[in-house]
Amino acid sequence: DHDHDHDHDHDRDHDHDHDHEHGHEDEHNRKLTVDLWDDCYPGATGTRRINLGFAMGSKLYATLGGTESNALSFLQGQASDANIIYEVQLNLVITVYETHILTEYTGVDWDQGDDCPMSLNTHLDYFTAWAKTTAPATVGTEVAVWQSWDDCFPGSGTIGLAWIGVLCGSSPAGANWYNGAGTWQVFAHELGHNFNAQHSFEEGQGSTGGIMDYGDGLLNGEYQFNTQYRKTEICSHLTSVVGSCGAFTTYQAVCGNGIVEGSETCECPDQSTSCTCCTNCQMEAGKECVPSSGECCNDQCMFAARSTDCSAAGGPGFCDRGQCINSECNSWSWTGDFCGINQANECLQRCIYPSGGVCSDMTGLSISGKPANSLTGPSCTLNGVVYGGQCDTGVCVAADPTPAPVVAAPNSDP
């Protein structure tokens, strides 16, 4: 039996700037500061794909707007973002080989539905059984593992769970709760467990550094595995499977597949090879985004102003760095929808309050011990620099705050 690890919200204070069009603009600089483990497994000097299965529960499908294109874009974004670590350090390009997206609740045993009745443990047990027996791509011959996403994070406690050391093996699964822009870090951490990585707590939890620590996922200012503590166990596992598992395939970046990879700096939403400001998957100099990617990218291929109204997954939202950000107001039963950003403080949201009422600043109202109108995660203007700060519980702070300590749960041994 393999251990599986309870991972708590290790990303409360630091969200990664995530933009599909421009996500890899500084990857070449990264390669100088993050060691490529080119002796990790046979053939590690050449880049190859690792094909994975990506599944989504019906509640997250609804949260993301209830369209296949939104759901697929989210899952591709998870892979693109995690490749900041996996491609640069392991020479493995995480590739969405197969998806299984539940568009409505029909009683599938691993699907939470609207009420999220299952613990992450219970969900993972059901999901693992499904991945082994009935998933649409076979583990070992087509994919290395299946990972699931759903929108059931209660705000604290366990945010991800995964079996350790299971690539192409007997419990090939991991599970992730949606956490806004920080979700990719949860996924990168849980996939690390599948790759046989333990937690990086050797120099203290939250102070050892790297994606397998709790904290911001950074070591020396970069997202990476902590080479000192994680390389041996990851490389021994990869060495044992890479030659025999069909999920590892040759790699060549494909322009037009919707994934920003290799030397690409953009992809077109319609999966063509060229569109406005993006030619052969290269962004025009000085441009930030592709207009057809949504209403948060303007006709000049620049991000729409922070706080511009847009239609988010769950209802009205606001633009931030080219993404339409959903507001918690849209999911609370006691408020109506989001109705704008506070003009005096861009880290405060306004909602219809009470539900059916008028647009309110919601001053003095709290939920789960924090002001209900406060935002955490979106960017803000700091010292005159647009996007220079990050909202943290309603206050604009420097973009790399010290992560809050997180209580660890023990390993369980199912």
Q: Which fold has domain 4-250?
A: Collagenase (Catalytic Domain) (3.40.390)
What is the predicted pLDDT for the residue at 399?
65
**Pair 60, 115: CB distance under 8 Å:** no
Compute the distance between CA of residue 223 and CA of residue 161 in angstroms, rounded to an integer: 20
Length of the chain (residues): 414
What are the residue ranges of CATH 3.40.390.10 in the chain? 4-250
What is the predicted pLDDT for the residue at 313?
64
Helix (H, G, I), strand (E, B) or coil at 180: coil
Amino acid at 316: P
Letter string b/e over residues 351-383, b meaning 16 or more CB atoms within 10 A of that residue's CB: bbbeeeeeebbbeeeeeeeebbbbbbbbbbeee
**Pair 13, 406: CB distance under 8 Å:** no
What does the pLDDT profile of the chain (414 residues) look like in tens digits?
444 554 543 332 222 333 333 333 334 344 447 889 999 999 999 999 999 999 999 999 988 888 888 898 889 889 989 999 999 999 999 999 999 999 999 999 999 999 999 999 999 999 999 999 999 999 999 999 999 999 998 877 899 999 999 999 999 999 999 988 789 999 999 999 999 999 999 999 999 999 999 988 989 888 999 999 999 999 999 999 999 999 999 888 889 887 777 788 888 888 899 999 999 999 999 999 998 878 889 999 999 998 899 887 678 999 988 878 888 888 788 899 999 999 999 999 999 998 888 999 999 998 877 899 998 778 899 898 888 888 888 999 886 533 332 222 333 222
Name the residue among 102, 110, 90 with its Cα closest to residue 48: 90
Predicted TM-score (pTM) above 0.75? no
Letter string b/e over residues 227-266, b meaning 16 or more CB atoms within 10 A of that residue's CB: eebbbeebbebbebbbeebebbeebeebbebbbbbbebbb
- SS3 string, 87-156, reads HHHHCEEEEEEEEEECCCCCCCCCCCCCCCCCCHHHHHHHHHHHHHHCCCCCECCCECCEEEEECCCCCC
CA atoms within 13 A on the CB side of 179: 28
Sign, CA dihedral 118-123-129-134, equals: positive
What is the predicted pLDDT for the residue at 279?
96
Structure tokens, 366 = 């709290």
Helix (H, G, I), strand (E, B) or coil at 372: coil
Compute the distance between CA of residue 10 and CA of residue 348 in angstroms, rounded to an integer: 23
Which string of DSSP letters, residue by residue, matches 255-308? TTSS---TT-----TTS-SEETTEETTEEPTT----GGG-TTB-TTSSBPPTT-
